[in-house]
Structure 1
Amino acid sequence: MKSLKYGLMAAAAFIALPALAATPEDVLKTYGDVAEAAYTDSLKSAQDLQTAVEALAANPSEETLAAARAAWRKARNPYQQTEAFRFGNALVDDWEGKVNAWPLDEGLIDYVDVSYGDSSEANVFYTANVIANPILKVGGETIDATEITPELLADKLQEAGEVETNVATGYHAIEFLLWGQDLNGTDAGAGNRPATDFDPANCTGGNCERRVQYLKAATALLISDLQEMVDAWAPGGAARADLVGKGEAGGLATILTGMGSLSYGELAGERIKLGLMLHDPEEEHDCFSDNTHMSHYNDVVGMRNVYFGTYKSLDGKNDVAGASLAELVAEKDPALAEEMKAKLDASLAAFEAMKARAEGGEAYDQMIGEGNDEGNAVVQAAVDALIDQTKSIERVVKALELEEVAFEGSDSLDNPSSVFQ
């Protein structure tokens, strides 16, 4: 009986022990799991987009074009939540330009309105129009584009002439093909390409077979590029290995570099404040589809994912919930943990307000238009929330005693007068 009583007491004591706090190793594993899940959803939704593109090609109609556009919008949601992995992870940053580069000089790809102009001193490929020209002779270079393939887009046309705005691949090239140019400025309306642009039997815009060929090639390339990143974040993949190789402190610094850089320089600065200052619809991320509010909103969701160690998958089968940076901060400085959560919640609320306004009928490019004081204020509130949030991220860096963490900046925030020079 004595031994039994001792055993029961020991078991009770064991049950009463508090759960072990999250460790940096656990946090980094969750971070990798969130990345893998988000890129996996990005790949799956791109494959769904490919199915819709094939249906459009087989039976061009306003219905199949609308379905392809809806599939593109859906595909953007998980991908934009991955952007917090870009900064700090060199492997991701080096790859990102293949799938999400913007803005693009659309005259490289297809026909454009006369208002676009016919030349650019900075870009000899400005109106190359690969869809209309099987053989491109530009700047003393001849490119055989007789067959539009993923290899042609990736190897010959992406950043042709070493010009960053020669974007031939990725989400925004596909977006332009599905919507066409948005010629509405800061008035209502997105791009309005007709389905007959993809119909060789009733062709508008010319070269319909080649336009379909380009759309299929760009979509296939997007899938192969996303597969590369899924593999990189799988257990044993290159991205996970890079993260482990940095050590625990280096890995935590990577998470915070991604959050801080996306929050401040990239999203608050380059993607939002710059366009707001200039009242320029060309400075919106998804400019052909008027989907910018959703891309910005999902960037904010993505930052929350990496901080709280969670991810909500498209089908509910790939959800992640694990050890988080939030737990490490709470253990180190509970007050700062509450502050950081409050700032992240405030940012989410600001972007939910922007999203609600867009869903109510005023697109993002209208919100940033000159003279729209109310819309401008909604967008500025989002910028302010991100800047405020970044200050707390900086305090988290100090609380965790991490060194050499630098966030991306932006002239629109750090040197506004230079924007107008």
Structure 2
Amino acid sequence: MKKQIKSVLILSCLAIVGIACSSEDTIEDNILDPTIAIEVKKKEFVTNYTNIVFASYADALNKLNELKTAVDTFVATPNENTFQTAKDTWLASREPYGQTEAYRFYDGPIDGGEGEPEGYINAWPLDEALIDYVTTGTGGQDLSDDRQNIINNKEKYPSLTKETLKELSGYDSNESNVTVGFHAIEFLLWGQDNTQPSEKMAGQRALTDFTTATNAVRRGEYLVAVTALLVDDVKSVVDQWKPGASYSSSFLAMSSDDAITKILTGAAKLSKGELAGERMAVAVENQNQEDEHSCFSDNTHRDVYLNAKSIDNIIHGSYKNTDGSIVSGTSLLDILALVNNDEATALTATASEVMNKVTVIFTIGYFDNQLMDETLDNFNNPIMSAVLTLRKQGDELAQAGKSITGNTIDPSV
């Protein structure tokens, strides 16, 4: 009996050892299996992306809360110091928000479905004649329309509330009928930029527009309401990207390939179609400073850099918070190097070239002044040189998406 028990114990031990060895072999095989390694990296990339998205939108919201405080203070006590602080805070709020623009174009919380907030946040170009007085002969609004010049039309709009302004934005399906968002606030703070591009000056709205001028009080009421609305709209996006929130959770739950297709759709479309096309080449083609993104404050040179940076953050898997801390992890380049190292090398070089070129635009400053010296067919000057490389980057991002997921991405908008 003892011999039989001993034999059983020996066989059991051998079986356990065999299972252990088999398990170790499986783990080692999994580690060495490139397909499994790629899948792990894909998941890491998607998770890192959601962390970066939330961090950048949260930074934008924090800065907009600071803007709301500055605007409320200015309207309550309008003087040159509070006026300048409100302008400076608007510029500061553009820094993190500009780095969120690559999170668009794939029906996410920012621009997916009816009532999308993006049109209320960053819509441009706007026809400022709808909001307030403009220089004679400027603005495209039909003055026979009794809805014109909201601030001065007390009978039609006795109360300037968030709800009223939001309802008016985009009326008659006219995209230039923008009454809310960053650029409505920008216009109210700076006024029209009627100087020649060679003068290198932003809008010069007088402080008296908020103190002694006609409808000064209503102008302040409009500014307060539109700033509060912007905070609300950006907060609605932040809330959907919070860890554990409905959209954030569903994004992480979808297949890695589907999530990556969305991520690279946003990055590719911003690079080639939107930034290189609508925001840069169109302005050069029309030779019109009204076509620049932030035409009242002359901050477009900075917008261009920040929008390009939003793409670069995805490519390199890293975002620098406004407090100086870093959110980082697996990058697009990490995955692409495993799938197609040649494409990863090419995209690395192109991304570096893009950032170098938009840095030149930012360093020179005054985008309206720069565009007057450029033409669409000359790629040797700063703007069109950057346009050419941004287009190339958009195509390479689309190709990266196909190589990684097998899905086709159209980088145009």
Change (3 A) 1:259 1:118: closer
Task: Name the residue aligned to 1:174.
Answer: 185
Cα distance between partner residues in 1 of 2:246 and 2:131: 33
CA shift digits 1:178-206 (9 cap, x unpaired)? 0000112433211100112111xxx12x1
Q: Is the 1:276–1:376 contact (alpha carbons within 8 Å) kept by the matching residues of 2?
A: no
Cα distance between partner residues in 1 of 2:359 and 2:374: 23
Measured after TM superposition, the shift of residue 115 of structure 1 is 2.3
Aligned to 1:320, the other structure's residue is in SS state: strand
Q: Are 2:204 and 1:192 equivalent residues in the alignment?
A: yes
Cα distance between partner residues in 1 of 2:271 and 2:307: 9
- Which amino acid in 2 is paired with 1:353? V
Cα distance between partner residues in 1 of 2:244 and 2:381: 46
Aligned to 1:323, the other structure's residue is in SS state: coil
Give the count of matched residue pairs. 376
Aligned to 2:151, the other structure's residue is in SS state: coil
- Which amino acid in 2 is paired with 1:33? N
Single out whichever of 21-30 and 308-317 deviates more from structure 2: 21-30
Q: Is the 2:350–2:389 contact (alpha carbons within 8 Å) kept by the matching residues of 1?
A: yes
Q: Are 2:367 and 1:364 equivalent residues in the alignment?
A: yes
Q: Is the 1:39–1:226 contact (alpha carbons within 8 Å) kept by the matching residues of 2?
A: yes
Out of 124, 146, 153, the position equivalent to 1:133 is 153
Q: After the TM superposition, which residues 50-89 of structure 1 pair with which residues of structure 2 at under 5 Å, given as runs?
A: 50-89=68-107
CA shift digits 1:115-150 (9 cap, x unpaired)? 2157449x947x7111111222xxxxxxxx212111
- Which amino acid in 2 is paired with 1:87? F
Q: Is the 2:320–2:327 contact (alpha carbons within 8 Å) kept by the matching residues of 1?
A: yes
Q: Is the 1:260–1:393 contact (alpha carbons within 8 Å) kept by the matching residues of 2?
A: yes
Cα distance between partner residues in 2 of 1:390 and 1:118: 33
Task: Name the residue aligned to 1:336.
Answer: 343
Task: Name the residue aligned to 1:233.
Answer: 241
Cα distance between partner residues in 1 of 2:246 and 2:314: 19
Q: Which runs of 5+ in 1 are unaligned?
A: 1-9, 137-144, 410-421
Cα distance between partner residues in 1 of 2:186 and 2:367: 16
Measured after TM superposition, the shift of residue 371 of structure 1 is 7.1
CA shift digits 1:22-49 (9 cap, x unpaired)? 5222211111111100110000000111
Q: Is the 1:181–1:288 contact (alpha carbons within 8 Å) kept by the matching residues of 2?
A: yes
Q: Is the 1:264–1:387 contact (alpha carbons within 8 Å) kept by the matching residues of 2?
A: yes
Cα RMSD over matched residues? 2.6
Task: Name the residue aligned to 1:416.
Answer: none
Aligned to 2:233, the other structure's residue is in SS state: helix
Task: Name the residue aligned to 1:414.
Answer: none
CA shift digits 1:328-375 (9 cap, x unpaired)? 1111122221211111110000000001101xxxx1001111579999
Q: Are 2:271 and 1:263 equivalent residues in the alignment?
A: yes
Task: Name the residue aligned to 1:406.
Answer: 410
Q: Is the 2:103–2:266 contact (alpha carbons within 8 Å) kept by the matching residues of 1?
A: yes
Larger radius of gyration: 2
Q: Is the 1:105–1:167 contact (alpha carbons within 8 Å) kept by the matching residues of 2?
A: yes
Normalising by structure 1, we get a TM-score of: 0.84
Aligned to 2:243, the other structure's residue is in SS state: coil
Q: Are 2:58 and 1:36 equivalent residues in the alignment?
A: no
Cα distance between partner residues in 2 of 1:282 and 1:104: 9
Cα distance between partner residues in 1 of 2:44 and 2:253: 15
Q: Is the 2:190–2:204 contact (alpha carbons within 8 Å) kept by the matching residues of 1?
A: yes
Aligned to 2:109, the other structure's residue is in SS state: helix
Cα distance between partner residues in 1 of 2:287 and 2:324: 39
Out of 334, 339, 349, the position equivalent to 1:327 is 334
Cα distance between partner residues in 1 of 2:374 and 2:100: 34
Measured after TM superposition, the shift of residue 377 of structure 1 is 1.2
Aligned to 2:296, the other structure's residue is in SS state: coil
CA shift digits 1:371-414 (9 cap, x unpaired)? 799998111111011012123213312321421422224xxxxx
Measured after TM superposition, the shift of residue 175 of structure 1 is 0.2
Q: Which runs of 5+ in 2 are unaligned?
A: 1-23
Out of 131, 136, 140, the position equivalent to 1:109 is 131
Change (3 A) 1:239 1:83: farther
Task: Name the residue aligned to 1:248.
Answer: 256
Cα distance between partner residues in 2 of 1:249 and 1:105: 41
Cα distance between partner residues in 1 of 2:276 and 2:337: 26
Change (3 A) 1:296 1:44: same
Cα distance between partner residues in 1 of 2:333 and 2:385: 25
Single out whichever of 95-104 and 389-398 deviates more from structure 2: 389-398
Cα distance between partner residues in 1 of 2:254 and 2:236: 22
Measured after TM superposition, the shift of residue 228 of structure 1 is 0.5
